[in-house]
């Protein structure tokens, strides 16, 4: 793409804490084929377990998975930047990944619009339809039927009546928002048997929470686990240190403030310094 772009064009380079990028690569997963997405109150809910396929084999140990990730250009800022320089690109701006957080999007795009001369967003509602589906990969959307009344549980906005507030359902323990819809014609029956529907749907939500919690705690890794492993494994630590230094070098030259804000990168650097001293 760079080769077919004129070198006088500006580049907006989105950068991210490389330890978090590595974590994201290791956790990259998709829904397995032929999963069941239709359930009712009599279904065996064990079908909600073990529904993800990981891009990097989850059965390999963490060190091997990290090495595989480093070998597939997960961290490829440095060579790409060098290539852009060879092509003569010089108008480069950096944007930290954290600025794309849903709570910052409006302000971020207002600043970008001024800098890059595109239409300024008019309100925060311009970003209201953004959906984070990765958290629910392999889980949602689900159809759940109670007494022949069907509910759709989805991370997307859908047609129908959202009934979470009507039933007083507790969902705030999930990292991202999802909604529960039904047809308008079902609302009268749901109100008449509110206790029944609330109890069964809330129980179903708690099972979804347990499934996601298990995946996050036992299958997916964290930045802390990566740093902890590197602190115990010198070979891995040296490999990461070499790669991360290359990744951060060109950002340091113009935006040291971004580097200073990278929590896990700086924790890793501090850990390396302490171990080198010992």
Give the model's pLDDT for residue 134: 65
The CA distance from 67 to 79, in Å, is: 18
Cα(111)–Cα(120) distance, rounded to whole angstroms? 8
Instruction: Tell me the percentage of the chain whose pLDDT exceeds 70.
Output: 98
Q: Is 223 helix (H, G, I), strand (E, B) or coil?
A: helix
pLDDT given for residue 127 in this prediction:
83
Tens of pLDDT, residue by residue over 60-108, are 999 999 999 999 888 888 889 999 999 999 999 999 999 998 889 999 9
By the 8 A CB rule, do 163 and 182 touch?
yes
Instruction: List the chain domain ranges.
Output: 2-130+222-277, 134-219
**Residue that is written with structure tokens 């997405």 in the block:** 37
Question: How do residues 12-56 score in pLDDT, each as one tens digit?
Answer: 999 999 999 999 999 999 999 999 999 999 999 899 999 999 999
**Alpha-carbon distance values, 98 to 20, 94, 101, 103, 104 (Å):** 11, 12, 5, 10, 8
Distance CA 186, CA 151 (A): 10
pLDDT tens, 193-233?
A: 999 999 999 999 999 999 999 998 999 999 999 999 999 99
What is the rounded distance in angstroms from the CA atom of residue 76 to the CA atom of residue 95? 16
Of all helices (H) and strands (E), which one includes residue 213?
Answer: helix 194-214
């Amino acid at each position: 793409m760079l080769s077919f772009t004129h070198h006088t064009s500006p580049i907006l380079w989105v950068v991210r804490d490389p330890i978090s990028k590595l974590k994201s690569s290791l956790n990259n997963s998709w829904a397995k084929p032929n999963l069941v997405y239709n359930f009712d109150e009599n279904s065996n809910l064990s079908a909600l377990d073990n529904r993800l396929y990981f891009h990097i084999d989850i059965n390999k140990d963490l060190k091997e998975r990290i090495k595989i990730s480093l070998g597939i250009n997960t961290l490829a800022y440095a060579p790409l930047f060098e290539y852009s320089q060879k092509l003569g690109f010089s108008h480069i701006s950096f944007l930290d990944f954290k600025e794309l957080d849903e709570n910052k999007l409006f302000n971020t795009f207002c600043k970008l619009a001024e800098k890059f001369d595109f239409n300024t967003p008019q309100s925060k509602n311009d970003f209201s339809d953004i959906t984070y589906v990765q958290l629910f990969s392999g889980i949602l959307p689900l159809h759940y039927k109670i007494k022949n009344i069907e509910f759709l549980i989805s991370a997307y906005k859908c047609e129908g009546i959202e009934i979470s507030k009507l039933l007083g359902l507790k969902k705030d323990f999930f990292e991202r928002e999802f909604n529960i819809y039904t047809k308008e014609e079902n609302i009268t029956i749901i109100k008449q048997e509110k206790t029944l529907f609330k109890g069964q749907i809330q129980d179903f939500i708690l099972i979804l929470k347990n499934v996601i919690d298990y995946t996050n705690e036992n299958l997916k890794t964290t930045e802390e686990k990566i740093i902890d492993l590197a602190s115990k494994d010198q070979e891995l630590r040296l490999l990461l240190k070499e790669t991360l230094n290359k990744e951060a070098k060109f950002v340091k030259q113009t935006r040291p403030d971004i580097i200073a804000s990278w929590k896990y990168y700086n924790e890793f650097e501090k850990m390396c310094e302490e171990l080198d001293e010992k």
